[in-house]
Amino acid sequence: MTEVNGTTRTCGLIGNPVEHTMSPMIHNTLAEQLGYNMIYVPLRVAQGQLADAVRGAYALNLLGMNVTVPYKQEVIPYLTDMDSMAEKIGAVNTLVRTDGGYKGYNTDMTGLLRAMQSDGIKICDTDVIILGAGGAGRMAAFLCVSNGAKSVYLLNRSVDKAAKAAEEIRAGLGTDCVEAVALGDYGRLLEGDRRYLVIQSTSIGLFPDTESAVIEDAAFYRHVSAGYDLIYNPWETKFMRLTRAAGAPAYNGLKMLLHQAVASFELWNGCKVPQEQVLALYERLRAGMGK
């Protein structure tokens, strides 16, 4: 374990709640194995205290922070700078210390891309359905469009929310391949033998509500070429079970969690984590979940 001394740098996770997080184990393991004098701690921030938390972290010389729900968008006004893609996405999950304040990045997008690449998921020239149009859904849509998806359909219970997100993505990336669809209208996408990469970005199916899925119609899953659930607990969601029952591969969000953390660690420390280190840490995370 890292010996804490007068030169130890501190990073942390701000959000509410943060008690469930696996991030300290990831970052503290990386710091120890790669020889960085850094510790990472969860920092629960009560509603209404975000501005004080960001200013306080800077005053206390924190090297950087991750940001989780519900603050990925709310934190933006308190930053001194933003990475261009994070600005387009409209959500930040990583703060990097700079002169005068923190710069915001979105390593969720980097993490999802690295995770999907490691699983052999093809995005370019692929038709994509994204379930949910919240912050994670917007990020996934930006990722898919940026990597050459043929078409991206944002499905959401509130079609107005999906339409707003689709409009912002079209404007931000100069594309017309993103379309908002009311969740109840998914049937119109199931024509002929058309198949989709489907990314599940909602909290439906998250532990303890493990017996729910956004769409439970078996006909929908016959049009899925691969399913990617951003949830990692439980290990296999109902969305994943339905995808596999229809004969398509399905993946959970543990690799995304790991890869977004690695990308944040690299930004804070100006380094590149060796791939063998990432693979070993993934196996450790799996073992910790009993898988």
Question: Taking phi first (over 0 means left), then psi (-120 to 50 degrees means alpha), and beta for anything else, what does residue 5 get?
Answer: beta
Q: Which of 103, 96, 174, 111 is nearest to 143 (CA)?
A: 111
d(CA 189, CA 155): 11
Angle (CA) 285-289-291 rounded to 5° is: 90
Where helices occur in the chain by DSSP H, the ranges are 23-34, 50-59, 84-89, 107-118, 135-146, 159-173, 218-221, 238-245, 254-269, 275-288
Contact 4, 35 (CB under 8 A): no
Q: Which of 72, 88, 238, 255 is catalytic?
A: 72
Cα dist from 213 to 12, 78, 286, whole Å = 32, 36, 23
The answer to whether 238 is a known catalytic residue is no
d(CA 127, CA 113): 16
Tokens at 270, concatenated: 């100006």
Question: Active-site residues: which are they?
Answer: 72
